[in-house]
Amino acid sequence: TVDPDTEVCSLLGSKEGLGNLFRGLISYRSTASQKEVILVPDPGYASYGDAIRICGGLPMPLKMTPDNRYMPDFEARIKELKAEGIGPERIKALVLCYPSNPTGMSCTLDYYEQAVAVCKRHNILLINDPAYADLYFPGEEPPHSALEVAGAKDITIEFHTLSKPYAATGWRIGFAVGHPDAITALERVKGTVDSGIFKAIQKAGAFALTSPECEAYILEQNALYQTSQQLMVDGLRELGWPMDDVMLPKATFYLWIPVPPRFESATDFATQLLEKSGIVIVPGTAFGQYGEGYVRLSLVDTHDNMREALRRMKEDGFTWQ
């Protein structure tokens, strides 16, 4: 349970909350060797790094790959940074996002337990951003929360948004829960930049969170995302993609696929696909240096349009070989 007076903060969307938390957390240092560090997933949501840099901090990547099942070793990364001259005392926070944007991959509860233990050991704030936690396929285990871990609230702040599950991106509504000191730091910054959420939107959000009709909508959309993924996987396989070797997410509407080897880079592939076929995808490097070699597909269009995209790819020669 959480105390609504000290451990909860309403937000104009989780993106705003994350940016303001970084402002309240990072002490500005003009010298690069003194900048405070925040560990962020790479590939990961690009706004993390941008917001940290604006505040004078230094985002450092947690390398997420199929080899580590998109769950990198925290202690190993801290040791690497120490060898580079960045001691644990400079690391202010660790940011996690599962299910992941851009890969769609989830993590285990045991992984959250590791994260909490490491953060407690090194006095690092755990910032969890499970924006897609409600978007998991029928029959699959719901994604975990870091706050499920015993004692996690002592070191964790977790952000939630209504944008993804309720298709309410433009409404700008979300909330943060967790350690009261982190909530206080967030609220102090927010008090200087906004005056809260429009009351009608707050009431609509409260209705959505408690409405059986809205819960049914989420379940319906999740089933649709699953069939959309299968349609695209089957279509890419027909185009020669080695889909049996691709880790497929069981959540979100994203598909993270490798770039055909004949292209120079992810950006080269995405640019040619746009210019020749009119299909928009995002190169993996938009999400960090370790996104090279991959692209992100967002499976939110109609099935007819997805089939049309696959047809154009075949017609225009965008096959694996």
Banded pLDDT at 314 (limits 50, 70, 90): very high
In a shared domain, residues 155 and 249: no
> What is d(CA 64, CA 231) in angstroms, rounded to the nearest whole number?
26
User: What mean pLDDT is predicted for residues 25-48?
Assistant: 93
Find the CATH number of the domain harbouring 257: 3.90.1150.10
Task: Mark 123-132 as b/e (b = at least 16 C-beta within 10 Å).
Answer: ebbbbbbbbb
> What is d(CA 69, CA 67) in angstroms, rounded to the nearest whole number?
5
The reported pLDDT for the residue numbered 30 is: 74
Q: Give me the domain span that covers residue 311.
A: 214-315
User: What mean pLDDT is predicted for residues 278-291?
Assistant: 99
Asked if residue 320 belongs to a domain, the reply is no
pLDDT at 297 over 80: yes
The strand pair at 91-96 and 282-283 is best described as unpaired
Average pLDDT, the chain: 97
Written as one string, the DSSP assignment of 103-152 is T-----HHHHHHHHHHHHHHT-EEEE--TTTT-B-TTSPPPP-GGGSTTG
In a shared domain, residues 203 and 230: no
Among residues 210, 235, 262, which one ends one of the domains? 210
In a shared domain, residues 157 and 249: no
Among residues 167, 193, 210, which one ends one of the domains? 210
pLDDT at 55 over 80: yes
pTM for the full predicted model: 0.96
In a shared domain, residues 182 and 78: yes
In a shared domain, residues 221 and 108: no
The reported pLDDT for the residue numbered 234 is: 99
In a shared domain, residues 47 and 117: yes
In a shared domain, residues 229 and 200: no
In a shared domain, residues 310 and 185: no
The reported pLDDT for the residue numbered 139 is: 97
The neighbouring-strand residues paired with 298 are 254
What is the number of structural domains in the chain? Answer: 2
Asked if residue 120 belongs to a domain, the reply is yes
Asked if residue 1 belongs to a domain, the reply is no
pLDDT at 31 over 90: no
> What is d(CA 102, CA 116) in angstroms, rounded to the nearest whole number?
23
The reported pLDDT for the residue numbered 208 is: 97
pLDDT at 158 over 80: yes
Please state, in angstroms and as integers, the Cα–Cα distance from residue 22 to each residue in 25, 175, 182, 183, 192, following that order: 5, 16, 10, 12, 14
In a shared domain, residues 243 and 126: no
In a shared domain, residues 203 and 69: yes
In a shared domain, residues 194 and 220: no
Asked if residue 279 belongs to a domain, the reply is yes
Question: How many residues comprise the chain?
Answer: 321
User: What mean pLDDT is predicted for residues 145-165?
Assistant: 98
Among residues 182, 210, 238, which one ends one of the domains? 210
The reported pLDDT for the residue numbered 1 is: 86
In a shared domain, residues 201 and 275: no
Asked if residue 191 belongs to a domain, the reply is yes
The reported pLDDT for the residue numbered 256 is: 99
The reported pLDDT for the residue numbered 32 is: 82
